[in-house]
């Protein structure tokens, strides 16, 4: 069974690039804002990894990180943030809120695939050890 990746980005072109990058190896769910993504998660859908933009309508990436990391249900899902901001303060804020990685746009799809693969492999080891 394919692992599931949730993509959240308000830019359709970015979603299409990400879908094309991952669709052969993963089941890809693509949404255009953080609020829809939270509703998706709260409906019982659990992806193996989330890729999320920072600047989005309704619930931005910072708020999304806070909500899932404080949820009690989704805090162990690997979360990779995408952003056009090179500001160190934005990267630091993402990591402090609980993001696992931060990638600048424009990104190299091969690099992103390598990072996703690494995060998923680390999660497998974590889960096999009982989540300790």
pTM here? 0.95
Encode pLDDT of 32-69 as tens digits: 999 999 999 999 999 999 999 999 999 999 999 999 99
CATH class of residue range 4-128: alpha beta
What pLDDT score does 128 carry? 86
Residues of the chain with pLDDT under 50: none
What pLDDT score does 132 carry? 55
Burial 103-127 (b: 16+ CB within 10 A, else e): beeebeeeebeebbeebeeebeeee
What pLDDT score does 127 carry? 82
Q: Provide DSSP, 13-47.
A: HHHHHHHHHHTTTSEEEEESSHHHHHHHHHTT---
What pLDDT score does 131 carry? 67
Domain ranges of the chain: 4-128
Greatest extent of the chain over all pairs of C-alpha atoms, in Å: 39
């Amino acid at each position: 069974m394919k692992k599931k990746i949730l993509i959240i980005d308000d830019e359709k072109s970015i979603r299409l690039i990400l879908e094309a990058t991952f669709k052969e190896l993963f089941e890809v769910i693509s949404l255009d804002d953080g609020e829809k993504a939270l509703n998706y998660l709260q409906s019982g859908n659990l992806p193996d990894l989330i890729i999320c933009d920072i600047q989005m309508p309704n619930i931005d990436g910072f708020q999304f990180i806070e909500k899932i990391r404080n949820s009690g249900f989704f805090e162990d899902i690997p979360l990779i943030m995408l952003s056009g901001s090179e500001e160190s303060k934005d990267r630091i804020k993402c990591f402090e809120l609980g993001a696992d990685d931060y990638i600048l746009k424009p990104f190299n799809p091969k690099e992103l695939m390598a990072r996703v693969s690494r995060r998923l492999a680390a999660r497998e080891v974590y889960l096999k050890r009982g989540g300790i």
